Structure 1
Amino acid sequence: MQAWQPTTSHQARQARAELLRTIREFFYSRDVMEVDTPLLSHGTVTDEHLDAFETQFNFANSGEPTTLYLQTSPEYAMKRLLCAQSGSIYQLCKAFRHEGEGRWHNPEFTMLEWYRLGFDHFALMDEVDALLMATLNTSPSDKLTYQNAFITYLDIDPLNTSDEALLKAMELHNIDIHQPQMLSFDSKLQLLFSYCIEPQIGMKKPCFVYDFPASQAALAKISPRDSRVAERFEVYFKGAELANGFNELSAFEEQRIRFEKDNQKRQSAGLATKPLDEHFLNALEAGLPDCAGVALGIDRLLMLKINATHIKDVINFPVSRA
């Protein structure tokens, strides 16, 4: 007989409700407005490392069947609101990523995303730190650059190294991947980071890693201080990658070029290309105010709050029981 019961305890469900209330109070006290955006969209992410769920909609106004995508994050729609003069905003919503189940991941999960007008990524890191102190009672965080993280833990300068050096490091650290020479330069960096650096940072207090390589900019601005890096950060705590934030790119031409390059990478990797979100690009053309934004995983945050060992302990019905 198929199990019908939730995988959470009543105490975990109470902890989720308390966490959501704390988050809403945090943003209310800072005059950041809560918003709501669609989960289904005509466009989707082009990132080669992300895949969205898709479905066919047979009742469009055009009379023709159309493909819609479940959103991997509310980012594009929220930025359309920013372009429409919404002011600083946040959202608590479901997000979907077509990836395997695991300790830290369920294909359907809860995300907190927010955007702060007039902030750069340094100011936003401080606010994320304040939220973690409010929700997890953490100590003030550590901060280090992506470059210094690699130099400290791997004795490699990621901004001035070669494919051969990365392959040697992967071999030295027993990262056993089929045909590693076929991986892109950034994929090699990501593997080394996840296997060799992540387990050594953020164990006692959160650790912010910032100034990622420009090739991993995603939707972040390139640093005016060093064109080799992007104004992007990630947050790690007790083995979890909690958040990913940017000083947001506002140049629509550059954003379109990045999306098109993503699709070229997808083609090279044998993956299907994805439709660009033209509504988002048109909004950028109208003008995105200077802002910084970040996405944070609520389920992972709750796992840390109640010392859960698996994401199923904080999601009532994970995909295996949905």
Structure 2
Amino acid sequence: MSDLQQTRHYQPTCEIDILKTRARLYAQIRQFFAVRDVLEVETPILSQAGATDVQLASVSAQRHMGSEAQTHYLQTSPEFAMKRLLASGSGAIYQLCKVFRDGEHGRKHNSEFTLLEWYRPGLSLKGLMHEVTELLNVVLAERFDEVRPVVISYKHAFMDRLEINPLQATLGQLKDTARRVGLNIELGDDRLAYIDLLFSHMVEPSLGFDTPVFLTDFPPEMASLAKVRMDEEGELVAARFELYIEGLELANAYDELIDAEVLRSRFMKDNAERQKLGLQIMPVDEYLLAALAQMPECSGIALGIDRLLMIITRQMQLEKVISFPAHLS
């Protein structure tokens, strides 16, 4: 390697001014929550349990507990530990932290990234949308005169773009739609995979250009750790929303599920699907399940700080807003 190549190798991929913008952003976030009496917390990055979601791959690490070596997992989100604090009476809390998702690299991804996560006992998803809007008007003040998101359901965004209802469409209809729009990808009989394929290629890239979008009421199979409910048209949906700005997913929010039996069944279903796909079976977080009986009704949200910085600084590549991406760290 030449001296010039070595010089370029050690330097950060973002400008120093963007590091300063990041520092200002953290200060704005902390001030925003301080005046609202939301407590900043820290929780462990390593855990004995990992994410069971088949779409997430945890990064594992070996550490010794006494003389015994155990496999633990770097958090994909601080969610489980924060919910244990909520169940212990913490009240409203937030955290700025590093999270890890194996194999995620690209224009919008890095396997290590920064997340802002917060939980609001007693607050509805609608109330949480209002608070997110207030935060955006603080941190995006130099980019937009005023942030006024619109609310669109997952179903209607899908129907507007593809003229098909993802809640009712059969596997055959989804395959036909994929072929019609040129997505000739074979995904077997996985109906949800076809929905995700169509959404990620044909719906998501168009969201949030005129104004930010809160996308609500996802298919119930995508509930993850959210409750399910009936929508205004009598169809079962997941009680959650995502935030999109300029085609970029920035945040994911839930009306949090607090039924331990239902959540355990979801974890078991995830692990059964993992086994079917040849993926690692993940240990279930029994501490979280034990805590749910004492957890208050609440809404919670995770917001990607690095992607938010992409919007603030008008960058198209994630590596332009972080100092050292995975391949240079």
Q: Shorter-chain TM-score: what band?
A: over 0.9
Q: Does residue 300 of structure 1 match 2:307?
A: yes
Equivalent residue, structure 1, for 2:265: 257
Equivalent residue, structure 2, for 1:103: 107
Secondary structure of residue in 1 paired with 2:204? helix
Secondary structure of residue in 2 paired with 1:180? coil
> Per-residue displacement from partner, 1:54-82 (whole Å, max 9, x unpaired)?
0111x203x32211000000000000000
Equivalent residue, structure 2, for 1:76: 80
Cα distance in 2 for residues equivalent to 1:265 and 1:28: 42
Cα distance in 2 for residues equivalent to 1:240 and 1:160: 26
Equivalent residue, structure 1, for 2:228: 222
Query: After the TM superposition, which parts of structure 1 deviate over 4 Å for at least 4 consecutive aligned residues?
Result: 224-227
Q: Does residue 310 of structure 1 match 2:314?
A: no
**Stretch of structure 1 that moved more, 130-139 or 229-238:** 130-139
Cα deviation for residue 158 of structure 1 reads 1.1
Kept in 2, the 8 Å contact 1:33–1:89? The answer is yes
Amino acid at match of 2:70: T
Give the unaligned 5+ runs of structure 1: none
Of 291, 298, 323, which residue of structure 2 is paired with 1:291? 298
Q: Does residue 127 of structure 1 match 2:134?
A: no
Kept in 2, the 8 Å contact 1:214–1:227? The answer is no
Equivalent residue, structure 1, for 2:65: 60
Cα deviation for residue 270 of structure 1 reads 2.0
Secondary structure of residue in 2 paired with 1:223? strand
Cα distance in 2 for residues equivalent to 1:32 and 1:100: 31
Secondary structure of residue in 2 paired with 1:149? helix
**Stretch of structure 1 that moved more, 130-139 or 222-231:** 222-231
Equivalent residue, structure 1, for 2:23: 17
Equivalent residue, structure 2, for 1:48: 54
Secondary structure of residue in 2 paired with 1:157? coil
> Per-residue displacement from partner, 1:215-244 (whole Å, max 9, x unpaired)?
110000111555611101111111211000
Kept in 1, the 8 Å contact 2:15–2:320? The answer is yes
Secondary structure of residue in 2 paired with 1:249? coil
> How well do the aligned residues superpose, as a CA RMSD in angstroms?
1.3
Q: Does residue 166 of structure 1 match 2:170?
A: no
Of 138, 142, 154, which residue of structure 2 is paired with 1:146? 154
Equivalent residue, structure 2, for 1:274: 282
Equivalent residue, structure 2, for 1:86: 90
Report how many aligned residue pairs link the two structures.
317
Secondary structure of residue in 2 paired with 1:27? helix
Amino acid at match of 2:198: L
TM-score (norm 2): 0.93
Amino acid at match of 1:60: M
Cα deviation for residue 262 of structure 1 reads 0.7
Q: Does residue 31 of structure 1 match 2:37?
A: yes
Cα deviation for residue 268 of structure 1 reads 1.8
**Stretch of structure 1 that moved more, 130-139 or 157-166:** 130-139
> Per-residue displacement from partner, 1:99-155 (whole Å, max 9, x unpaired)?
231111110000000000101212112211221121113420011111111111111
Rate the CA distance shift 1:141–1:82 in 2: closer, same or farther, 3 A. Answer: same
Kept in 1, the 8 Å contact 2:118–2:301? The answer is yes
Cα distance in 1 for residues equivalent to 2:241 and 2:205: 17
TM-score (norm 1): 0.95
Kept in 2, the 8 Å contact 1:7–1:315? The answer is yes
Amino acid at match of 2:314: N
Rate the CA distance shift 1:81–1:227 in 2: closer, same or farther, 3 A. Answer: farther
Cα deviation for residue 31 of structure 1 reads 1.0
Cα deviation for residue 265 of structure 1 reads 1.3
Amino acid at match of 2:297: D
Kept in 1, the 8 Å contact 2:205–2:248? The answer is no
Cα deviation for residue 22 of structure 1 reads 0.8
